[in-house]
Amino acid sequence: MKLNYSKRILALSILVLVGVLILDIVFTNLLLGKIIAINDKVKQLVISSEEREKELTLKDSILSSVEEREKFDQYFVGAGDGKTADFIASLESLAGQNSVSHNIKSVGYESVPALNSSETVSFIRLRFSVSGQWSNVFGFIHAIENLSKVATINSLSLTVGSDLGATGKTSTKIWTADLDFSVAKLKI
């Protein structure tokens, strides 16, 4: 009987040991999965905090230094609607200097594609139409291309028409340029 009792205890002990081993493997796998997930989240947090730190550093740099702010103002339209209005006025002045008639079709704001939700920079999108003699229209387009601001030309359409003089005859060709371009603008 003692031997029978010992066999039962041995069998029960082996079953308990196998059960403990199975549970250990299951819990270890679950624990490793959680550790990997936590490490991934930590990496994401580190990356996002580094990006945020870079953005805050840039923001502090812009706000803290007048000299640096002036450098940024060379390349970006300043923050605020007043600076946007000043920039549009400078475009109108540029059109006047190039002896072209102009018409602002639309002005809008859009985010910078590479930065998605930047708190610092956005784009002003302008749709502008100018007309005049070829050399004047070309001079205006060339001036837009050479702006000191960060700008991209989205589209440009050129058409030619004719101007009837006082005699009713065609006297000169009138060129029209429909220009769609974006200029970088500071938000702060």
- Write down the pLDDT at residue 136: 92
- Write down the pLDDT at residue 168: 57
What pLDDT digit, counting tens, does each position of 144-174 carry?
888 888 788 888 999 998 765 555 565 678 8
Structure confidence at residue 42 as a pLDDT band (50, 70, 90): very high
Which positions ≥6 away from 180 have C-beta within 8 Å? 125, 126, 127, 128, 153, 154, 155, 156
Q: What is the DSSP secondary-structure string of 91-107?
A: HHHHHHHTT-EEEEEEE
Q: Is the pLDDT of residue 69 over 80?
A: no
CA distances from 172 to 4, 61, 138 (A): 119, 53, 16
**What predicted TM-score, i.e. pTM, was given to this entire model?**
0.57
Residue with structure tokens 């639309």? 106
